[in-house]
Amino acid sequence: MPWLYCEDQVEDGLEVDGGTAALKTLPAEDVMTISYKVSSSRRGLYRVGPSITEASDPMGFVRRFKTDKEPEFLTVTPKVCAIGG
């Protein structure tokens, strides 16, 4: 059965809840999803990605690689707090 490996690169400084990579055997027309939550205790602009994908045929004779061209960016802002009242 063909397999698919996907991985998101997550910049240092982000805390990840869940896995940023997955390996799965995929029957025809099946779909694979990776989901995770990121957080940070420090504000700033953080890079997430690019994603890397690798796929192979069942025997491993043919392998395909794909890397997204552009990463996504996540902006972390300070927590908003009410001021006295």
Model pLDDT for residues 24-79, shown as the tens digit of each residue: 888 878 888 888 898 888 889 999 888 999 998 888 889 999 998 888 898 988 88
In a domain, 83, yes or no: no
Is residue 54, in this structure, part of any structural domain at all? yes
- Residue at 84 is within a domain: no
Q: How high is the pLDDT of residue 7?
A: 92
Q: Which domain holds residue 62?
A: 3-76
Residue 14 resides in a domain: yes
Residue 81 domain-assigned? no
Residue 45, in any domain of the structure? yes
Strands in the chain per DSSP E: 3-10, 15-17, 21-25, 37-39, 44-56, 63-67, 72-76
Count of domains forming the chain: 1
0.85 exceeded by the pTM?
no
CA distances from 12 to 26, 33, 42, 43 (A): 31, 23, 11, 13
| pLDDT for res 85 | 61
Judge whether 40 lies within some domain: yes
